[in-house]
Amino acid sequence: MSEATCWVGLDVHASRTAVAVLATATGEVTKRTVLGRPHEVMEVLEAFAGTGARGL
């Protein structure tokens, strides 16, 4: 069984962070903007925990 991998890219600013996730198995791209300070993006990133996500 092959392991699924997701690539995660972040564009971090003081008041917002853009998040893009590429699921390599399907080619699906998910984009999300998180408003607030950079530490608030952790909730979004934790949703991908255990998916094999890797940073760009």
What are the extents of the domains in the chain? 6-55
CA angle 35/37/39 to nearest 5° reads: 110
Distance, CA of 1 to CA of 42 (rounded, Å): 30
Q: Kindly provide the residue ranges of all beta strands, DSSP E only, lying in 13-56, ordered along the sequence.
A: 16-23, 28-35, 53-55
Distance, CA of 11 to CA of 33 (rounded, Å): 9
pLDDT of residue 46: 80
Residue 24 CA, distance from chain mean position: 13
pLDDT tens-digit readout, 14-54: 899 999 989 888 999 989 999 988 788 888 888 776 655 56
| Report field, pTM of the whole predicted structure over 0.85 | no
Amino acid symbol at 33? T
* Whether residue 56 has pLDDT greater than 60: no
